[in-house]
A = this chain, B = another copy of it.
Amino acid sequence: MMEDDLESYLGKQTVKDLKRQAIEAKRNAYVPYSHFPVGACIYTNSGLFYSGCNVENASYGLSICAERTAVVKAVSEGNTCFRAIALSTDTVGEVWPCGACRQFLSEFGNFPVIFIGLDGTIKVEMVYHLLPRNFSKSDLKTVVKDNKD
């Protein structure tokens, strides 16, 4: 998806708002271990914005990425249908989400992920393109009971 298509899909102002809020959310990143701040902003079907940042932990394995923070904020306010998510990192090139976040996003459907460059340029990929054939609730149901013992 190109930037033009994204603007047709979301509206020019929404794209602008998503970019600004993802960049601003990065400021609150709690990253004393990685020093790699990330900001995210997710846009719901009902027209709401929820921004998030990464929150790390001394036990590295408990760190939560910006994408997941944005999602749980939205879900905890009753929103589980999303139109897009924007990501901002302090990197020269675009950085794609980690596999854990791709999995977490895919639980709630297939929507555009917007990468915001430091120079303001954007690129867009669909969740399903980031995680082809994601592991899903329907997979859990395909288990053959008789086989299990």
Contacts and interface: CB of A to CB of B under 8 A. Distances in A.
A59 B100 contact: yes
Interface of A: 25, 27-28, 30, 32-37, 51-53, 55-65, 68-73, 75-78, 80, 89-93, 95-104, 106-107, 118, 129-137, 139-140, 142-144, 147-148
A54 to B, nearest CB: 9
Contact of A37 (B51, B136, B139, B148): B148
B131 A99 contact: yes
Given A103-B99, A135-B96, A135-B99, A143 B89 contact: yes
Chain B CB within 10 Å, residue with most, of A33, A56, A61, A75: A61
